[in-house]
Structure 1
Amino acid sequence: MLTLKRFANPDVTRAFTNIIWLGLERLTQIGVAILISGMVARYFGPDTFGKWQYANTLLLVLSPITWVCGAEILVPTIVNRPPAQLGTVLGSAFALRFYVSAAALLLTWLAIALHVFEPLVGAMLAGLAVTMLFREPFVGVINAWLQSMTYSKPQLLTSMSTAVLKAALVYLLVRTATAPAHFGWLWALESAAIGAVLLIYYARRHGGKLGWHVERSLLKHFASAGTVFWLGLICMYLFLKLDRLMLERAISFADLGRYSAAQQLNENWIMLALMLAQTIAPAFIYRVQDAAQLRRNVWRLSALTAVLMVSGALVLDLLAGFIIRRVFGPGFEGAIEIFRWAVWLSVPAGIEAVSNLIVLKYQAKFVLLTKWLLALAVAFVVNLLAIPRLGAYGPLVGLAAGYLAAVSVNLYYIRFKLRP
């Protein structure tokens, strides 16, 4: 009876449905990303694919700059303010994000114009960078509104649909032998389409108009309240992409393309650990208040995650040759051994994702910042020492060391926060 009552609760039902849609969206994105990477890699070849991956790496390093006023600040503000102030909250958040995103885009284009990047990398990045103008100001703001209602279905359904359509358009670009420099604009078109659909959806839910307004005091609050979390996320993404940033200066673009092919598959595998953490967090971490029960849940979930990641890594290690050849085709044989080593990074990454839930539960923003600063510094030093000696395998050592540093900070915080 307790279970039936629990599922009869509309909040629990809504949350459970939201989790299902989140899982479907993530699995769709992973499948589409692998499919697109395979098509692009076969069409571009290792050298051009290396430049494409490097342009994407630069985008993923630049994008966190636009994450000012993150969901951890915006969603609670929406929930705690009266419904009549929704337009002011969203309008102020949109204005801040749009100004920051526009500045980031203009600076990126300026760097491209000044030939800071290799010419083809710059041409690819020119289109990719436009996604910053739509993702956070438009998609991010409306998605925060949907999250505040525990109803992300419209955004997730739109994201899945455009991802499938993008894969079809990539196939068309490949079939028509479109120049590699033009591919980035397809990603810009996708982000613009998602933003437009969500804007229309929001307007239809509010009498056919947005009704957004800017409040100066709220604008200042948003600019300052999430600064520490924002810096922490920037450090995290720098850590995750530091391997390619440092490798670009040490190896050829062709070898970078092979390394990136292996890492892209591996990152999609690691994403499953993050999905697992997001799925179990509400029931086993966020809603539990007893410290002893929280400790038990964290250790059990960490052990379960480690077993799952080890089991998956074993399978992927054995199938590495088959997977790389099927997805990327000839010219990427060198990615097989890198992939076999890289999949084992999922073990510390999975444990970090689970133990990080306690940091997020208690909104320990300075712990989050310290952790990723430490992980970034450790990976940087290890890469400096390992890349000259191990080549493309060096950054794997740097990532492993960085993840272990991050896990160590998480575990120290858990022992401090949940001590008996």
Structure 2
Amino acid sequence: MRALLRSGNPDVARALANIVWLGLERLTQIAVAIVISGLLARYLGPGDFGKWQYANTLLLVIAPITWVCGAEILVPTIVQRPPTETGTVLGSGFALRMGVSVLALIVTWIWIAAGDTDPMVGLMLAGLAVTMLFREPFIGVVNSWLQSLTYSKPQLIASMAAAIVKAALVYMLVRLAAAPQSFGWLWALEAAAIGGALLLYYMRRHGSRLGWHFDRALFRHFASAGTVFWIGLICMYLFLKLDRLMLAQRVSFAELGLYSAAQQLNENWIALALMLSQTIAPAFVYRVQETARLKRNLLRLFAMTAALMIAGAAVLDALAGFIIARVFGPNYADAANIFRWAVWLSVPAGIEAIGNLVVLKYQAKYVLLSKWLLSLAIAFAVNWIAIPRSEGYGALIGLAAGYVAAASVNFYYIRFWLRT
């Protein structure tokens, strides 16, 4: 790593070092997620594990509401303004994100108190929802400042350390036979620890002072800028969790637990496709201006991603029974068949992730929004028909249809862009 930083262009060396740290952090998070899922699945059993997964699904549907004023707005603003105004930019972004996060948390707690969901799911979600107070207002704002410096190492180290400590605490609570609803508060504690560590790092870099200030004009700008991207991301995450939301209305929590166990592993496998796209995007897509070269790069990336995802899915398909038994235990044997089918979703998911790079490169926000609205609508329609007939397998068909729709929109946009 030191040799890398000493050689060549310092900006390139810094970006490559960032990629290495990003890859290490993603692999750590994937490993920790699998370990924690295995611990909880064995301890809670399929029924309560299904409730735990459903509570997490609800959180991941609610949380994107707090993503107002995303990094695509905050980072360029930090870069374009003089360093003396960084505190004002961060303070205004923090005020907006904290306001939205507090509102989202209050509404979530009111909804739980109204009894509109299973009592255990509500208790689990009550702790998990507190993460919204720390993720975007603290972690997101400071991380945007770090991104503007092309230096994400502090945030990545804090995330890795917190994830490992969280896994140890989950193990401890399992050994102590803690109540199922107590685990949600560990996720809130993890978010608070990361947010506190990043805040302290920022203050250490600024003379032990925070120096964040509120500016009304910036606040209004942040509230309106990036709205299309924001709504598009909300639609994307709703699409990704729609299978469990609709499946929960048709099957027991025990059956949902089996489906969620398979999908938990599959989503970590698909995360590798997203990590791959994030890693190669700057060099092979974002920085390429020549049309012919970009077209060649995209063809190679599509072929490489398809080959990697197909090979990986074939191996996971063959080892499904062994993997499910080792991670979740014998009570989840029926999840192996679902996992065998689910892993093949990585092929359209990977293809979609590569095509999406061109949409992001040219900031085609309305294409992004239209794509996920279409995918959401198609997945909903397919789920409505397929889930009552095939339950978990019907939910997988809905996801596959949504991914194919999203990839098709990407291909149409790429073809249109290359033609014009």
Bin the TM-score by the shorter chain: over 0.9
Equivalent positions of 1:11-410 (< 5 A) are 11-410=11-410
C-alpha deviation, 1:334, in angstroms: 1.2
Relative to structure 1, the CA distance from residue 5 to residue 127 in structure 2 (aligned partners, 3 Å threshold; closer, same or farther) is closer
Q: Give secondary structure in 1 for the equivalent of 2:331.
A: coil
Deviations 1:189-217 (A, max 9, x none): 00000000000000010010110001101
Equivalent positions of 1:405-416 (< 5 A) are 405-416=405-416
| CA distance in structure 2 between the partners assigned to 1:5 and 1:168 by the alignment | 34
| CA distance in structure 2 between the partners assigned to 1:108 and 1:308 by the alignment | 40
| CA distance in structure 2 between the partners assigned to 1:23 and 1:52 by the alignment | 28
C-alpha deviation, 1:117, in angstroms: 1.2
C-alpha deviation, 1:116, in angstroms: 1.2
Counterpart contact for 1:288–1:294, Cα < 8 Å: yes
Counterpart contact for 2:18–2:150, Cα < 8 Å: yes
RMSD: 1.1
- 2:419 corresponding residue in structure 1: 419
C-alpha deviation, 1:5, in angstroms: 12
Deviations 1:107-143 (A, max 9, x none): 0000011111100000000000000000000000000
| CA distance in structure 2 between the partners assigned to 1:330 and 1:322 by the alignment | 10
Counterpart contact for 1:55–1:125, Cα < 8 Å: yes
C-alpha deviation, 1:176, in angstroms: 0.2
| CA distance in structure 2 between the partners assigned to 1:72 and 1:299 by the alignment | 27
Structure 1 letter corresponding to 2:229: F
Structure 2 letter corresponding to 1:285: V
Counterpart contact for 2:95–2:214, Cα < 8 Å: yes
- TM value normalised by structure 1: 0.98
Structure 1 letter corresponding to 2:193: A
Structure 2 letter corresponding to 1:161: A
Structure 1 letter corresponding to 2:30: I
Deviations 1:262-282 (A, max 9, x none): 001000000000000000000
Counterpart contact for 2:5–2:14, Cα < 8 Å: no
Work out the percentage of aligned pairs sharing the same amino acid: 73
| CA distance in structure 2 between the partners assigned to 1:29 and 1:39 by the alignment | 15
Structure 1 letter corresponding to 2:344: W
| CA distance in structure 1 between the partners assigned to 2:278 and 2:5 by the alignment | 24
Q: How many corresponding residue pairs? A: 417
Counterpart contact for 2:266–2:343, Cα < 8 Å: yes
| CA distance in structure 2 between the partners assigned to 1:192 and 1:338 by the alignment | 35
Counterpart contact for 2:5–2:13, Cα < 8 Å: no
Deviations 1:64-104 (A, max 9, x none): 00000000111011101110000000000000000000000
Counterpart contact for 2:302–2:351, Cα < 8 Å: yes
| CA distance in structure 2 between the partners assigned to 1:119 and 1:34 by the alignment | 26
| CA distance in structure 1 between the partners assigned to 2:327 and 2:7 by the alignment | 41
| CA distance in structure 2 between the partners assigned to 1:223 and 1:298 by the alignment | 34
| CA distance in structure 2 between the partners assigned to 1:303 and 1:114 by the alignment | 50
C-alpha deviation, 1:392, in angstroms: 1.1
Structure 1 letter corresponding to 2:199: L
Q: Give secondary structure in 1 for the equivalent of 2:117.
A: coil
Relative to structure 1, the CA distance from residue 299 to residue 6 in structure 2 (aligned partners, 3 Å threshold; closer, same or farther) is farther
Q: Give secondary structure in 1 for the equivalent of 2:419.
A: coil
| CA distance in structure 2 between the partners assigned to 1:331 and 1:322 by the alignment | 13
C-alpha deviation, 1:412, in angstroms: 0.4
Relative to structure 1, the CA distance from residue 386 to residue 7 in structure 2 (aligned partners, 3 Å threshold; closer, same or farther) is farther
| CA distance in structure 2 between the partners assigned to 1:5 and 1:114 by the alignment | 55
Instruction: Kindly report structure 1 stretches of 4+ aligned residues shifted beyond 6 Å.
Output: none
| CA distance in structure 2 between the partners assigned to 1:398 and 1:291 by the alignment | 35
Segment of structure 1 superposing worse, 387-396 or 93-102 = 387-396
Unaligned runs of 5+ in 2: none
Unaligned runs of 5+ in 1: none
- TM value normalised by structure 2: 0.98
| CA distance in structure 2 between the partners assigned to 1:221 and 1:230 by the alignment | 14
| CA distance in structure 2 between the partners assigned to 1:386 and 1:129 by the alignment | 31
Counterpart contact for 2:235–2:373, Cα < 8 Å: yes
Q: Give secondary structure in 2 for the equivalent of 1:181.
A: helix
Counterpart contact for 1:6–1:12, Cα < 8 Å: no
| CA distance in structure 1 between the partners assigned to 2:295 and 2:127 by the alignment | 46
Counterpart contact for 1:57–1:244, Cα < 8 Å: yes
Deviations 1:22-58 (A, max 9, x none): 0000000000000000000000000000000000000
Counterpart contact for 2:240–2:399, Cα < 8 Å: yes
C-alpha deviation, 1:168, in angstroms: 0.3
